[in-house]
């Protein structure tokens, strides 16, 4: 039995970024525990949850027994419905008391990830703190666990709402905090249960990729700092020793083994399970039952004959990334912003586009928040027409915090300053600080190309605009009749700014990218194109396992094509694209022949 479910406590919380396989691992764990004679409840808040599909029944927001697995029940919490209910809980009582403009601002403050996380946690709390609600179960397996940021919000002092109501705070997550006092005692009990190793085990799910490992290390450190040290690590979907001599399969296996041999220090000594990549999606009990055991799973013995070769690229070649670059290059300047969730390859795609534009003789400035310094080392002075800079998010955030404390915190008492300092630890603060640093680069886009990675989310951009953090401050200072152009206005100008959403050809990353696009549209920014990165469907591979995995990507690629007629597909490569030559190769035309 995998170590993370050996002698499992009552609660198992699985956390990790989208697309790493949390739902599948959680469902497989619940299945094994139930087959061991335990009574188990599987709870999912994954917006792309396929728990019902896995078990072949409709589940939804009620505890539903799984007939095919005695002892197992499931519950799917819809995070959007939970967030709607949470918003109404806060806005309902004041809807007829405040001007419509103020209601609109509060609504936007309640539209971000903070609200969804806390609203989902509201659903968790009953199962964590109400013994009667979960008395029928020996184990409750949760997918997805709240983040360290959510838990920090729940630990804020009881005076926080009064502090906000008095107008002293410049909070980046004002809305979600407004409802905390109503259940503060229940939250405290729930957080205590999370930190109790006799009750709860946190399972960090990740992939054998450098970026994913760095991210899970940050999560581990953040949770440990909050007293949640009972952690286990699950590294999912690791390429097994290839059964063929396919170069791509061999390269992926070697690359992942290098990652496994050099885990980040903070997670190196955690109890760890390594799960092999399976050939098929985890749909159906038989497939799910194979996930936590060694072996390739169902379908791996296929000879790769997957029927008619799929056609994904448009006939006019518009879905190749070099076509996007050609279209961008029709102007001699502009702002190109790469957006997307962590781990999808924004930095690589941004660098590839910058190299391709510079290779066409156009002046390009590439700005990135990538913590790795290899872009500076590889590109600085390495290509004519290309300059590179790196914004340090930690440095920019600290400067922003210091400035806010020096100005808005100057007139506060000790308790007020402590509360303001607490709010400034929010991830939203980092996005605002990085946006301000980006703003200095935006003005360059009127004279040359500026390629920016990583962009703040659409919610943060709209929150900046709605609360007057930047745009409205300028309007107020300059006067309503003055002619002004703020960074926000430049981002909303489709002639100047081209936003490219980057995703992976998997269910959760695509859904998260759709949500990002909705946020951007609310902020008045319409994405110009999408890029699907690391696609096996676009790779030249003869390996049966990888060919079947590529075939499974096609539904997600079609989803992207329906959302974004202008899109590009980048294949999974044998070597990580580091250096000008490798980055330039990304804009070569792949094809899907033979998939």
CA distance 304 to 306: 6
* DSSP 3-state of 158: coil
Q: Enumerate residues 6+ apart whose C-beta is below 8 A from 123.
A: 45, 77, 82
**272-206-19 Cα angle (round to 5):** 150
Q: Enumerate residues 6+ apart whose C-beta is below 8 A from 165.
A: none
With 0-12 / 13-18 / 19 or more C-beta atoms within 10 angstroms meaning exposed / middle / buried, residue 562 is: exposed
What is the set of active-site residues? 19, 21-24, 46, 508
The answer to whether 471 touches 455, Cβ cutoff 8 Å, is no
Burial 252-275 (b: 16+ CB within 10 A, else e): bbebbeebeeebbeebeebebbeb
CA distance 564 to 581: 29
Give 210-263 as a 3 state SS string: HHHHHHHHHHHHHHHHCCCCCEEEEEEEECCCCCCCCHHHHHHHHHHHHHHHCC
* Helix or strand run (H / E) with residue 29: helix 22-35
What DSSP designation does 167 have? T
The answer to whether 498 touches 336, Cβ cutoff 8 Å, is yes
Phi, psi angle pair for 109, to nearest 5°: -60, -25
**514-400-403 Cα angle (round to 5):** 150
Query: Residue 112: which of 162, 69, 171, 61 has the closest Cα?
Result: 171
Other CB atoms within a 10 A radius of the CB of residue 315 amount to: 7
Phi, psi angle pair for 26, to nearest 5°: -65, -45
Token pair recorded at residue 396:
């920019």
* Helix or strand run (H / E) with residue 507: helix 507-522
Query: Residue 538: which of 256, 236, 248 has the closest Cα?
Result: 248
Q: Enumerate residues 6+ apart whose C-beta is below 8 A from 450.
A: 334, 335, 336, 364, 365, 367, 441, 442, 444
Phi/psi-derived region of residue 74, left when phi > 0, alpha when psi is between -120 and 50, beta in every other case: beta
Token pair recorded at residue 290:
């194979």
């Amino acid at each position: 039995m995998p170590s993370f479910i050996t002698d499992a406590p009552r609660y198992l919380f699985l956390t990790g970024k989208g697309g790493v396989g949390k739902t599948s691992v959680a469902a497989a764990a619940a299945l094994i525990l139930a087959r061991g004679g335990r009574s188990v409840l599987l709870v999912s808040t994954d917006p792309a949850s396929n728990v019902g599909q896995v078990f072949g029944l409709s589940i939804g927001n009620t505890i539903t027994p799984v007939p095919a697995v005695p002892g197992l029940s499931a519950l799917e919490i819809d995070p959007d419905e939970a967030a709607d209910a949470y918003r109404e809980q806060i806005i309902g009582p004041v809807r007829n008391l405040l001007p419509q403009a103020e209601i609109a601002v509060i609504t936007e403050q309640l539209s971000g990830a903070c609200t969804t996380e806390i609203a989902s946690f509201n659903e968790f709390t009953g199962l964590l703190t109400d013994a009667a609600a979960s008395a029928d179960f020996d184990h409750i397996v949760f997918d997805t666990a709240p983040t360290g940021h959510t838990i920090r919000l729940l630990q804020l002092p009881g005076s926080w709402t009064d502090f906000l109501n008095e107008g002293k705070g410049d909070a980046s997550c004002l809305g979600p905090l407004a409802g905390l006092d109503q259940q503060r005692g229940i939250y405290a009990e729930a957080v205590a249960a999370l930190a109790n190793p006799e009750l709860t085990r946190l399972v960090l799910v990740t992939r054998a990729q450098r970026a994913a490992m760095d991210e899970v290390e940050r999560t581990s450190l953040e949770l440990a700092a909050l007293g949640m040290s009972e952690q286990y690590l699950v590294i999912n979907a690791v390429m097994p020793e290839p059964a063929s001599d396919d170069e791509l399969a061999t390269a992926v296996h070697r690359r992942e083994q290098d990652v496994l041999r050099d885990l980040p220090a903070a997670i190196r000594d955690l109890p760890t399970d390594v799960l092999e990549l399976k050939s098929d999606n985890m749909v159906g009990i038989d497939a799910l039952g194979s996930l936590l055991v060694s072996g390739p799973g169902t379908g791996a013995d296929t000879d790769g004959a997957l029927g008619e070769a799929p056609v994904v690229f448009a006939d006019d070649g518009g879905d190749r990334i070099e076509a996007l670059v050609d279209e961008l290059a029709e102007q001699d300047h502009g702002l190109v912003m790469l957006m997307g969730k962590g781990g999808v390859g924004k930095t690589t795609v941004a660098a590839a586009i910058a190299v391709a534009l510079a290779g066409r003789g156009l002046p390009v400035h590439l700005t990135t928040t990538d913590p790795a310094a290899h872009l500076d080392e590889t590109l600085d002075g390495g290509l004519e027409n290309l300059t590179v800079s790196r914004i340090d998010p930690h440095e920019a955030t600290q400067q922003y915090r210091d400035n806010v404390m020096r100005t808005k915190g100057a007139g506060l008492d000790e308790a007020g300053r402590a509360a303001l300092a607490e709010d400034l630890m929010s991830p939203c603060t980092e996005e605002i600080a990085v946006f301000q640093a980006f703003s200095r680069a935006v003005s360059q886009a009127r004279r040359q190309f500026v390629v920016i990675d990583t962009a703040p989310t659409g919610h943060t951009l709209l929150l900046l605009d709605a609360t007057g953090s930047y745009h409205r401050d300028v309007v107020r200072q300059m006067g309503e009749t003055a002619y002004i152009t703020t960074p926000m206005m430049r981002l909303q100008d489709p002639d100047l700014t081209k936003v490219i959403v980057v995703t992976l050809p998997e269910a959760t990353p695509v859904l998260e990218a759709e949500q990002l696009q909705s946020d951007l549209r609310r902020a008045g920014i319409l994405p110009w194109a999408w890029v699907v990165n690391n696609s096996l469907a676009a790779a030249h591979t003869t390996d049966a396992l990888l060919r079947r995995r590529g075939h499974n990507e096609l539904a997600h690629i079609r989803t992207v094509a329906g959302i974004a007629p202008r899109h590009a597909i980048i294949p999974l490569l044998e070597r990580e694209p580091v250096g000008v030559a490798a980055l330039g190769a990304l804009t070569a035309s792949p094809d899907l022949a033979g998939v």
